[in-house]
Amino acid sequence: MDLSLIPVTPSLSKSPFDCGNEELNLFFRQFAAGNHRKNIAKTFVALADSGRIAGYFSLCAAGVAFEEFATQHQKGLPRYPVPAVRIARLAVAVDLHGQHIGAWLLKQAFDKIFTIAASAGVYAVVVDAIDDKAKGFYKKYGFLEFPGSRPSLFLPLRTIEAGARNRGKAQGRQSFGIWPLLTSSARTSHRTPQAPPRGPAARSPGGHSQP
């Protein structure tokens, strides 16, 4: 399946989409385009070559308090909120689960975050897993849990960078394994963005369907 990544538009948000989670469906239908326009959260849509929506993700700015990190992760961090980008939502069409579209979306999100980090401080990527399956998905790609029972996980940007630099190395070590795992898992291809089709085709701060 060929996928294009394009920004959400009102016409896209009104297109049929079902990820199996009504909370995430509702956000996409009613809030994604408006929040994108208001710069509250930027949403990007995976559009299949057939014109259907395969999935989406939303990004927003975030800050993580020093005290929220476990002791072993506090070394070298300032004692004020650490800058981060939050993958607030990530969802895949329910009938496309298991086709590695979630990994493809995650890699596209990382690419966007690297672009942001070139001009603004970003220490980590933060996600809020909606359930244990979603948490397992992110942990597979190296995300770490915060202490306690929070649904949030984080991944330092330097860990992602290390994986990108060493994508050809063995996947046995976390610092090397993330990027090769993403690129090998995402079997879809990324084409040049195209115009969206015409017409139809909360958990706070976010959530995720099972990719």
The pLDDT of residue 165 is 64
Q: Is the predicted pLDDT of residue 208 greater than 80, yes or no? A: no
* Percent of the chain with pLDDT strictly greater than 70: 77
Structural domains in the chain, CATH included, are 2-196 (3.40.630.30)
Residue 208 CB burial class (10 angstroms; 0-12, 13-18, ≥19):
buried
* Distance, CA of 141 to chain centre: 12
Q: Which residues, including other chains, have CB under 8 Å from residue 68's CB and lie 6 or more apart?
A: 146, 147
71-111, pLDDT tens digit by residue? 888 988 889 899 999 999 999 999 999 999 999 999 999 99
Q: How confident is the model at residue 175 (pLDDT cuts 50, 70, 90)?
A: very low
> Tokens standing for 160?
């992602």
The pLDDT of residue 201 is 31
1-46, pLDDT tens digit by residue? 899 999 999 999 999 999 999 999 999 999 999 999 999 999 999 9
Rounded Cα gap, residues 155 and 2, in angstroms: 28
The pLDDT of residue 176 is 35
